[in-house]
């Protein structure tokens, strides 16, 4: 079974970015290290705030599009339903001491 992920990333000022990927760890790494030019590198979006896994890529893409259409307040409520303290869910994924929020 192949997993697909819908995720929300943020920064210190809580700018939100919603995406979909088949490799969450790789994609978060790309965002954290600004390997792909665009919105997330421009606004220093480097913290994983929320994610969910799907077995069907169509379901993941549909959910991503749905979230992108939501008001900001609803996106914040989604993050806080699973991550009320806005912890960086990817802390520790890439070795000890890797926390983009502390290194800014």
Residue 98 has pLDDT above 80, yes or no: no
In angstroms, the Cα distances linking 96 to 20, 28, 70, 90, 100 are: 26, 16, 35, 11, 12
Q: What is the pTM of this model?
A: 0.88
Domain that holds residue 86: 4-103
Residues with Cβ < 8 Å from 83, sequence gap 6 or more?
49, 50, 89
- Cα gap 80→41, rounded to integer Å: 24
What pLDDT shows up at residue 95? Answer: 74
* Per-residue pLDDT tens over the stretch 19-68: 999 999 999 999 999 998 999 999 999 999 999 999 999 999 999 999 99
What pLDDT shows up at residue 104? Answer: 35
Q: How many other C-beta atoms can be found within 10 angstroms of the C-beta atom of residue 23?
A: 12
Q: For the chain, what is the domain count?
A: 1
pLDDT band, residue 92 (cuts 50/70/90): confident
Q: What is the CATH number of the domain that holds 75?
A: 3.40.1440.10
């Amino acid at each position: 079974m192949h997993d697909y992920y819908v995720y929300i990333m943020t920064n210190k000022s809580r700018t939100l970015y919603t995406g979909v990927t088949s490799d969450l760890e790789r994609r978060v790494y790309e965002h954290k290290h600004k390997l792909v030019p665009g919105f997330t590198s421009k606004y220093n979006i480097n913290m994983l705030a929320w994610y969910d896994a799907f077995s069907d890529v169509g379901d993941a893409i549909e959910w991503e599009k749905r979230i992108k259409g939501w008001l900001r307040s609803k996106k914040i409520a989604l993050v806080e339903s699973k991550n009320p303290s806005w912890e960086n869910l990817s802390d520790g994924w890439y070795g000890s001491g890797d926390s983009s929020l502390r290194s800014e």
